Amino acid sequence: MDILNMDACAQSAALEKGELSATELMEATLARIEAVNPTVNGIVNLADGDRLLAKAREADNAPRSGWLHGMPIAIKDLANAAGFPTSRGSPLFAGEVAETDDLMVSRLRAAGAIVIGKTNTPEFGLGSHTFNPVHGATRNPYDITRSAGGSSGGAAAALATGMLSIADGSDMMGSLRNPAGWNNVYGMRPTWGSVPADPVGDMFMHQLATSGPMARSPADLAALLDIMTGSDPRVPFSSNSPATFTKIDEAPKKLRIGWLGDWDGAFPYEDGIDEISQAAMGKFADLGHRTETLKAPFDADAMWQSWIDLRSFAVAGGLQADYADEARRAYLKPAALWEIERGLQMSAKDVLHASNVRSDWFRRTTRLFESHDVLVLPSAQLWPFDVDWTYPETIAGHAMDTYHRWMQVVVPAGLIGLPVVNVPVGFGANGLPAGIQLIGPRGSDAALLQLAQQWHGATHWPQERPPKI
């Protein structure tokens, strides 16, 4: 058997039964990384192989500590893992070794995971294209001349190529959804607050980003999510969520699924994106669900303005000290400077207005979810683009007026903290993969995962069409 193409839960079961050792799994993982990573550049700061094999042998001789016992994982290079550098893709932090684990990482280690390195990300996680001056670009394993997406692009490419069987990621503006769609894997942005952030800095103002799981099956997403979730008394708004893995194989009821299309023309799509997404809607109908096309439920321009204002406000809050130091400012990429300068210029009235629009949109979704269980949008508005681009400047003849306008399609869910699962939906005529977002009301994480699992049982896209690399 090819142990690296097994689902994470299958690997875990084999380890528990003694059919596979952690040492064998680590040896195979390191061999795959040596063979593939120089081409795709998904994993960075890989630990010494002898040290990792020693940790695997320790796991083989120790009682099981959780379902991840003895399993390799690499942490997205925005989070701290003790003993590993956290560069955040920036020369300002390259080589700075973390002394402690972030909360999420500590939970993964407590469940038995062996941290082997980090996964690549854009500088400060800004932009859905993974490249930075410290580690370079991550390439799409389905076409190495194309982007792997981002900001969890390194994780997605590592999953697609079998270098990892599960991965963590984070998502402010599609970073668990766009790269999953572009690498033919699953990624989940959970209900905001269910995976608590670290209790540092401001913990009340910025409710946009969250960590979440990535995998090659929804069952693996659920199993990993159950480790990542859970309230922490030090973190406001953190919540305890019901376990998702134990009910993952329960068939979902007949659902009412609404296709939001191109938001009445507000979201331009590259040729083929609408077609492959609507084909997926047809598949959901074949699975017994009721599907229909919906009119745009909210003003796209108002939502976009709310989003970019709240995002700039958040980014400026995190990076203003680096910006204030002229020597450090010189190392900030243009996207970071743009965000910081916008954020610093905002008044309290500007921020309040943006949050009021966000509140209006949330109120509108509560009515939408009275008549529909799931809403659907593409996970990206175009196919993976040239890896040497900074960002696409046009889509279908429409000019993109910011570095991130091309990802506007992920804003409706991200702005108000709704749970979303990216499911892979196949390949275009160009041979490149695509995905769609399954969006549910707050707290519907388990139901979305059940729907995704039903989809996976009918399609098995990651297993049916792995990259030839």
- Catalytic residue list: 76, 151, 175
Beta strands in 203-352 (DSSP E): 210-215, 256-259, 290-293
Query: What string of DSSP letters covers 339-369?
Result: HHHHHHH--HHHHHHHHHHHHHHHHHHHHHH
Selection from 33, 105, 99, 51 nearest residue 75 by Cα = 105
Distance CA 254, CA 285 (A): 10
Burial of 296 (0-12, 13-18, 19+ CB in 10 A): middle
What residues have CB less than 8 Å from 178, skipping those under 6 apart?
128, 149, 150, 379, 380, 407, 410, 422
SS3 9: helix
CA separation for the pair 379, 433 (Å, rounded): 11
Nearest partner of 209 among 146, 121, 294, judged by Cα? 121
Helix (H) / strand (E) containing 187:
strand 186-189
Cβ burial, residue 456 (10 Å; 0-12/13-18/19+)? buried
Enclosing H/E stretch for 400: none
Tokens for 363, please give them: 């109120």
| 449 touches 421 (CB < 8 A) | yes
Query: Measured between alpha carbons, how far is 431 from 409 in angstroms, rounded to an integer?
Result: 22
State the helix-helix crossing angle for 218-228 and 103-110, rounded to 10 degrees.
Answer: 110
How is 93-143 classified by DSSP, letter by letter? TTT-B-SS--HHHHHHHHTT-EEEEEE---GGG-SSS-EETTTEEPEETTE
Where do the H-state alpha helices sit in 102-254?
Answer: 103-110, 153-160, 178-182, 218-228
